[in-house]
Amino acid sequence: MTTPTPHLTAHGRFADRIAAAIKARRTPSCIGLDPRRESLPPALAAAAITDPQALAGIFTRFCRDVIDVVAPLVPIVKPQLACFEALGPHGMIALADVIAYARSKNLLVLADGKRGDIGSTAEAYADGWLAGPWAADALTVNPYLGLDSIEPFVKTAESRGAGIFVLVKTSNPGSKDFQELVCDGKATYEHVAAGVEHLAIRTAAGGRFGAVGAVVGATWPKQLDDLRTAMPHTWLLVPGFGRQGGRASDVRGAFDADGMGAIIVSARDVIFAHARPEMNAGLADTQWQMAVDRACQEMIERLAADTPAAALRG
């Protein structure tokens, strides 16, 4: 197992580091690392494997191979923690290796765990993921327990130069069940957004964006437009691009005019591109990384063609 190298405050604020990385790669694209046995390339021969240790080894190899392809192209990757947790201890060792490998390739790492709790438990989550052995640059956070439950994450993020992304309007269809309920004349997600923007301003340290960001799904373009306006100091993490139905034109409203302010996520469309005939055309099973490269390049070009991210091209 490779031990992750903890990031230091001297590396700067997350808001500044992600901005610099996006400008360096000239794209706001983020690739989700969601390894699933049934979806892995046939060349990895994972379909019949049930042993968690063996499967964890394959997950590590797969994610490393994906990282090798996307590291020169994108600024950040987003490991989905559940995919690794499902394999127990061996999966968590694989996750540590993947995080460390991504960082060795100069990628920022966003741990997608949607953590949330109160008091000392929230402090433990924050310390573990943002300041401790996992050494992620940012973490997704669930605000359902209230704004006080977010405070331990904010405190740790500020002290460690990390970031958090709070669930505001998620990409799944069922998000409307609770997030769109109206209270005091506003939808619940609008109340959450107001709290997140307040925290973003508080943690901006005189900069353009704060340490606290928001998760807003690409599948809700109207709400995305409105929330960009309502949260001008907040980085928006936008999942749902590609396989979940979000198009480049749907995420235009997430950006400022200069192409900044948003991080657009695609996972399955890119990492499992071998299953897309238009991406896998002419390739052998062992050439699945070329399909990943094609899909990643396509995502980058679509965002540049149909969103303000075109401004990043200079």
pLDDT of residue 96: 96
Residue 2 included in any domain? no
State the number of CA atoms in the 13 A half-sphere of 102 facing the CB.
34
Q: What pLDDT is stored for residue 132 in this prediction? A: 81
In a domain, 3, yes or no: no
Read off the amino acid at residue 197: E
H helices present in the chain, as ranges: 14-25, 52-70, 81-85, 89-104, 119-126, 151-160, 176-179, 188-202, 221-230, 268-271, 277-280, 288-306
What pLDDT does 314 receive?
80
Q: Mean pLDDT of residues grouped by 10 in the chain (314 residues)? A: 40 93 98 97 93 97 98 98 98 97 97 96 96 92 96 96 97 93 96 98 96 95 94 96 77 95 96 97 97 97 96 91
Alpha carbons 35 and 29: distance in angstroms, whole number: 19
What is d(CA 301, CA 306) in angstroms, rounded to the nearest whole number? Answer: 9
> For residue 242, what pLDDT is reported?
75
Residue 114 known to be catalytic: yes
The first and second tokens of residue 271, run together, are 């990492």
pLDDT (0 to 100) of residue 267: 96
* C-alpha radius of gyration, the chain, whole number: 19
From 23, 78, 105, 114, active-site residue: 114
What is the extent of the structural domain holding 46? 11-313
Tell me the pairing of strands 186-187 and 182-183: antiparallel
Residue 65 within a domain: yes
Is 5 within a domain?
A: no
Token pair for 221: 């373009």
Residue 9's pLDDT is what? 32
Note whether residue 188 is domain-resident. yes
158 inside domain: yes
Domain count, the chain: 1
The three-state (H, E, C) secondary structure of 175-227, written as one string: HHHHHCCEECCEEHHHHHHHHHHHHHHHCCCCCCCCCEEEEECCCCHHHHHHH
Give the pLDDT score at 4: 42
Q: Which CATH number belongs to the domain containing residue 87 in this structure?
A: 3.20.20.70
* pLDDT, position 7: 41
For residue 4, is it within any domain? no
pTM, two decimals, is 0.94
